[in-house]
Amino acid sequence: MTIAIVGLGYVGLPLCLQFAAKGVPVLGLDIDRAKTEAINAGRSYIRHIEAARIAELVQAGSFSASTDFARVREVAAVLICVPTPLKRNQEPDLSYVLKTGEAIAPHLQRGTLVVLESTTYPGTTEEELRAVLEAGSGLRAGVDFHLAYSPEREDPGNPASRVAEIPKVVGGYTPACLAAALALYGRVIRTLVPVANCRTAEATKLLENIFRSVNIALVNELKGVYGAMDIDIWEVIAAAKTKPFGFMPFYPGPGLGGHCIPIDPFYLSWKARQFGLETRFVELAGEVNTAMPERVVARVDAALQGQGKTLRGSRVLVLGLAYKAEVDDDRESPSYRLMDLLHEAGATAAYHDPYVPVIRPSRRHAHWAGTRSVAWDAETIGGFDAVLIATMHAAINREELAGWAKLIVDTRNAMAGIAGAAGKVWKA
């Protein structure tokens, strides 16, 4: 059987490689011609995915890419891995999912399996996506074609994370749909977790990410409380995690980033309001995390004032544009908000990130498009009044930073134990 995977980004591309490596021919579909051409040429555009791995599977004939969605008629299954962002009013934006459904529907064949993997609110697969597929194909879900939901569980930047080893939650529109989806994923995933229906699978993914959002909000709030008491939150967490039961460590930061954790709680809150329900706990966590960049910039201001300076007129370097260490993914990165706030306060903001050499165009941060990462050398780094650590990659030399920077505001506890940093570092 040949399958199609729509969306060749941080979720779709690793999934393509997993299926192709296990002998399932894969057709990757994307509206971005640059991505499809790169794949067919055996090149990678994602830092942690090796080009050699793509090239090997392309040369073997088990993986190819195209922008022609009419080729859906050639496949036995279609897996949808497209973005589900938020609109400016913080409401769900299902346009990528629904446009994908509209693109594949006219070419859908009887017996084809369609699986949505994008994170979304409960009901999306069985309601919105099903309606689009049925209207465009003239076929009925659960009768003429199979429909299922199976949330992605990617962990970019974690070398220990393997697609085949991560248990896969699967929910089907009907029992037959579930069976078809389990049969497909069973070819490449070691452990499958079937659940009652698509809604349950969608709710599972939201719980996973809301769990992280709430706990990160907790330590972000405690960081401020303990800081006022002259207690180091990082030392507290290190001590607490020695407890072998009943505790799981989470760490504070400058705000949330990535495509899931900053977004998913709002998907549930929006859906809950349709049932006349409030998600006060979830929304409070979102408020705490969203406010972190403002708190961090206030800390930068206080640090500069300690040297007789103010934000206005100062030059501040944001270190790390990617939303997490060891990846080149800058989606929803709090670094953008940090740079905006610094600029609004009258500072000159710049960034350094070895994995994001230039800022690409985006809907939310178009005004930063084309901005380049500054050089990493003593003269450049020493020319800034303060360096704000937002994300610390292993490739960044902490000892050099300690020696070159005039002032460091550290949101990641990255400079702990670094010789030469004493007296320069303000934790934030």
Q: What is the pLDDT of residues 368-419, one digit of tens each?
A: 999 999 999 999 999 999 999 999 999 999 999 999 999 999 999 999 999 8
Of 168, 197, 226, the domain-final residue: 197
Of 197, 226, 254, the domain-final residue: 197
In a domain, residue 331? The reply is yes
In a domain, residue 85? The reply is yes
Catalytic residue among 81, 177, 198, 260: 260
Regarding whether 139 and 25 lie in a shared domain, the answer is yes
Regarding whether 305 and 164 lie in a shared domain, the answer is no
Report whether pLDDT(73) > 90: yes
**Amino acid 178: pLDDT:** 98
| Contact between 75 and 111 (Cβ < 8 Å) | no
In a domain, residue 269? The reply is no
pLDDT band at 89 (very low <50, low <70, confident <90, very high): confident
In a domain, residue 215? The reply is no
Domain of 342: which CATH number?
3.40.50.720
Domain count, the chain: 2
**Amino acid 70: pLDDT:** 98
Q: pLDDT tens digit string along 165-184?
A: 999 999 999 999 999 999 99
Regarding whether 296 and 168 lie in a shared domain, the answer is no
Mean pLDDT of the chain: 95
**Amino acid 57: pLDDT:** 98
In a domain, residue 240? The reply is no
Q: pLDDT tens digit string along 356-380?
A: 999 998 878 899 999 999 999 999 9
Helix, strand, coil percentages in the chain from 3-state DSSP, rounded to 5: 40, 15, 45
Report whether pLDDT(426) > 80: yes
Q: pLDDT tens digit string along 223-270?
A: 999 999 999 999 999 999 999 999 999 999 999 887 777 788 889 999
In a domain, residue 356? The reply is yes
In a domain, residue 262? The reply is no
Report whether pLDDT(160) > 90: no
Of 197, 220, 248, the domain-final residue: 197
Regarding whether 14 and 156 lie in a shared domain, the answer is yes
pLDDT band at 351 (very low <50, low <70, confident <90, very high): very high
Q: Residue 154: which domain range?
A: 3-197
Regarding whether 327 and 180 lie in a shared domain, the answer is no
CA 275 – CA 387 distance, rounded (Å): 46
CA atoms within 13 A on the CB side of 339: 22
Other Cβ atoms less than 10 A from the Cβ of 313: the count is 12
In a domain, residue 224? The reply is no
**Amino acid 87: pLDDT:** 87
Active site includes 81? no
CA triple 358-32-371, angle to 5 deg: 15
**Amino acid 156: pLDDT:** 73
